[in-house]
Each structure stands twice: as C-alpha cells, then as structure tokens.
C-alpha cells in the first residue's frame, strides 16, 4: 500500500463517496442516507447487528475536551462500498485524526475498509489521550497523596478526612474515566476484529495495518488496566492512612479514659455525704488522698505502657 500511496493523491471527493457522516441531531440526514444507501440505524438499535447490506458496529468513545473528558457513541455501518457513521455532530473532532492519517496514506480513502481502519485508529488515539490525561492527573496529585500517607501536611499539622475530600473526589473521577475507557476498548476491539475479517485477502497491507491496530487497541486497554490498578491502590492507601489516624485518635481517648477513671472513682467516693470520714481528721489527709489518686492514675498508665499500647 505504501508504494501505491506514493502514486495516489488524497481526493476529498473520493472520501465523501466512501464515507458518509450522519449527525444524530439531524434526522433529515439519516433519512437521506437511508434513501441513498439503504442503511437503517434504527433497526440495529444501538447493538452489533448484521444484515445483507451492512454490518452495524457501535463504539463508545471517550475523548478530551480541554480539561474534561466527554463520552459519545458512534455507530458504524460497513459494507464493501462505503462506511456510514452515525455520530454526534457533522464535524466530530476526533475524526480529524482519521482524515490526517488518510492524507498521509491516500490509498486508505479509496476503500470503505481503509476508511474504517482510519476511523478506528482515530478512536483508539483518543482513548490513549484520555488514559494519558488520567495518568497526568494522578501525577499532579502526587504531593497530596504523599502528605496523606505520611499523615502530616507541610506545616506539620495532621491530615484529616476533610483535608483529603478533594483528592478522594478527584481520584474517584479518574477511576470512572479509566473504567469507561476500558469498556470502550472492548467495543473498539470488537469492531477492529470484525474489520479484519472483512478486509479482502489481496489487501495485505491493509490487513497488516489492521492487525497492528488490534494490537494497539489491546495495548491501550492494558495501559488503562494499569492506571485503574494504580488508582485503586492509591485510594486504598489514603483510606488506610485515614483509618489508622482515626484508630490512633480513638486509642488516645481510650488511654485518657483509662488513666482518669480511677481518680474519678475516688473523687466520687469523697463527694458522698458520709457521717464519718476519718481521713478528714488526719493532719496529712489531703496529701494522702492526693498521693492515692496519683498512684491509681499511674497504675493503668504503666500497665498500658508495658503492653506496648502507646506505640
């Protein structure tokens, strides 16, 4: 195909004959495409479907729009003459990558299978960009995550749940983005494998490109799986750190309660209205009572320390 591409120029008119774009917000365009080619997206019902005329292949794509990630459904209708896409807008930005690839390799635009390959290639590139965006988001949170796992901020103040709410929310959003991309790659792989079965045996170059595309789709899926595991690990690390901190706070309050419970009991006795309390008549009664209170307070503290519960 490379040798043929050198003698073939990119012709937009040829591409328009091979690729028909039907925006979902334009019902008249769908009716016109159905009248012209016999395509019927309504019959497919958004599912993979095959008829005598077309193979319908839905793909869910995630793509970046600035600092956000959008999600749209594309339905391909493929046969030997043309590929028809049911897409969100008449100009779907993700497909600009496909057009650029067909400009570099004009031979792709001369067959419906070549156009389909370029479109699937563009969708896979969009998924890769989303995964890279998710990875960059996690990297930008690295300092916050380190502070959370260490338990203290840069001023030496202990980190609490309120301090980590924003980071936890961002990681949850990132996990959802990565999970959706994994789902999208499954649909994209199915469409690419179907394309591979449709590519004519004599189109060896296109068959090779499609095989590479299938491997690339699987590679992006594996990358998404790695990032998903990374997000879950970081989430678990933060939650474990916060749980440990909460357990330490509960432990401190438990120790304080254990230390002050015996003195409180003694104070309760001396708050009762007894008729005869001999230590009240002692010369050093107050000192004796104070020392007794101190001793019974130290006994549980020493016991707790010997057990290692203060660590």
86 with 233, same domain? yes
Best CA proximity match to 148, nearest among 227, 66, 236:
236
Contact assessment for residue 130 and residue 94, using Cβ atoms and an 8 Å cutoff? no
Residue whose token pair is 């491997």 = 215
Residue 30 φ then ψ, to 5°: -65, -40
Whole domain around residue 257: which residue ranges? 250-306
Q: Which residues of 3-17 are buried (b: 16+ CB within 10 A; e: fewer)?
A: eebeebebeeebbee
Give the whole-angstrom CA distance, residue 69 versus residue 176: 11
Residues contacting 267, CB < 8 A, separation 6+: 293
- Look at residue 2 in the predicted model and tell me its pLDDT: 45
pLDDT value at residue 188:
95
Q: Are residues 97 and 113 in the same domain?
A: yes
What's the rounded Cα separation, in Å, for the pair 263 and 217?
Answer: 70
Residue 176 has what pLDDT? Answer: 92
Q: Are residues 184 and 272 in the same domain?
A: no
Asked if residues 95 and 117 have their Cβ atoms less than 8 Å apart, the reply is no
What is the secondary structure of 42-66 as a DSSP string? HHHTTS-EE-SS-EEEEEEEEEEET
Q: Evaluate whether 85 touches 21 at the Cβ level (below 8 Å).
A: yes
Strand locations in 156-249 (E): none
Dig out the tokens for 223 from the structure. 């990358």
Same domain, 77 and 156: yes
Q: Give this prediction's pTM.
A: 0.77
**Total structural domains within the chain:** 2
As beta bridge partners, residue 77 has 56, 84
pLDDT the model gives residue 3: 46
Domain boundary among 230, 247, 264: 247
Are residues 167 and 300 located together in one domain of the fold?
A: no
**Residues 278 and 210 reside in one and the same domain:** no
**Mean pLDDT (10-residue bins), the chain, 311 residues:** 59 92 87 86 81 91 90 93 92 94 94 96 96 88 68 60 72 90 94 94 94 96 91 80 77 81 78 72 77 82 76 64
Residue 311 covered by a domain: no
Kindly state whether residue 181 falls inside one of the protein's structural domains. yes
129 with 26, same domain: the answer is yes
Helices 142-150, 112-140: crossing angle, 10 deg rounding: 40
Boundary (domain end) residue, out of 247, 274, 293? 247
| Same-domain status, 195 and 52 | yes
Report which secondary-structure segment, H or E, holds 77: strand 68-78
CB-based contact 78:57 (threshold 8 Å): yes
For residue 187, being part of any structural domain is answered with yes
Task: Give the C-alpha distances (Å, rounded to integers) separating 245 from 3, 59, 167.
Answer: 66, 45, 17
Is the same domain home to 219 and 283? no
> Tokens at residue 196, please?
């591979």
Pick from 225, 247, 269: which residue ends a domain?
Answer: 247
Residue 289's domain is classified under what CATH number? Answer: 1.20.58.340
- 167 lies in the same domain as 27: yes
Residue in the block written with tokens 């990032």: 227
Whole-number pLDDT of residue 31: 86
Alpha carbon distance 231, 182 (integer Å)? 14
Statement to judge: residues 36 and 55 lie in one domain: yes
């Amino acid at each position: 195909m490379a040798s043929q591409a050198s003698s073939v120029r990119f012709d937009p008119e040829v591409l328009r004959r091979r690729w028909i774009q039907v925006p979902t917000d334009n019902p008249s365009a769908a009716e016109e495409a159905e009248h012209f080619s016999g395509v019927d997206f309504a019959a497919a019902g958004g599912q993979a479907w095959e008829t005598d005329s077309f193979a319908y292949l839905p793909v869910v794509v995630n793509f970046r729009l600035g600092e956000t990630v959008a999600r749209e459904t594309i339905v391909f209708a493929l046969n030997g003459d043309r590929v028809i896409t049911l897409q969100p807008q008449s100009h779907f930005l993700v497909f600009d990558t496909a057009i650029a690839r067909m400009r570099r390799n004009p031979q792709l635009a001369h067959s419906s299978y070549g156009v389909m390959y370029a479109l699937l290639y563009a969708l896979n590139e969009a998924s890769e960009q989303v995964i890279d965006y998710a990875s960059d988001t996690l990297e930008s949170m690295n300092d916050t995550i380190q502070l959370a796992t260490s338990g203290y901020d840069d001023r030496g103040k202990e980190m609490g749940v309120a301090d980590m709410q924003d980071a936890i929310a961002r990681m949850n959003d990132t996990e959802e983005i990565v999970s959706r991309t994994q789902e999208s790659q499954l649909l994209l792989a199915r469409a690419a494998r179907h394309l591979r079965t449709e590519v004519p045996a004599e189109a060896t170059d296109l068959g090779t490109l499609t095989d590479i595309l299938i491997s690339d789709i699987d590679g992006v899926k594996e990358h998404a799986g790695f990032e998903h595991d990374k997000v879950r690990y970081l989430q678990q690390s933060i939650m474990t750190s916060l749980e440990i901190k909460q357990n330490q706070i509960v432990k401190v309050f438990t120790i304080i309660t254990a230390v002050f419970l015996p003195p409180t009991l003694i104070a309760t006795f001396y708050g009762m209205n007894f008729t005869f309390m001999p230590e009240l008549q002692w010369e050093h009664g107050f000192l004796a009572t104070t020392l007794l209170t101190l001793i019974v307070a130290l006994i549980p503290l020493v016991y707790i320390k010997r057990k290692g519960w203060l660590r």
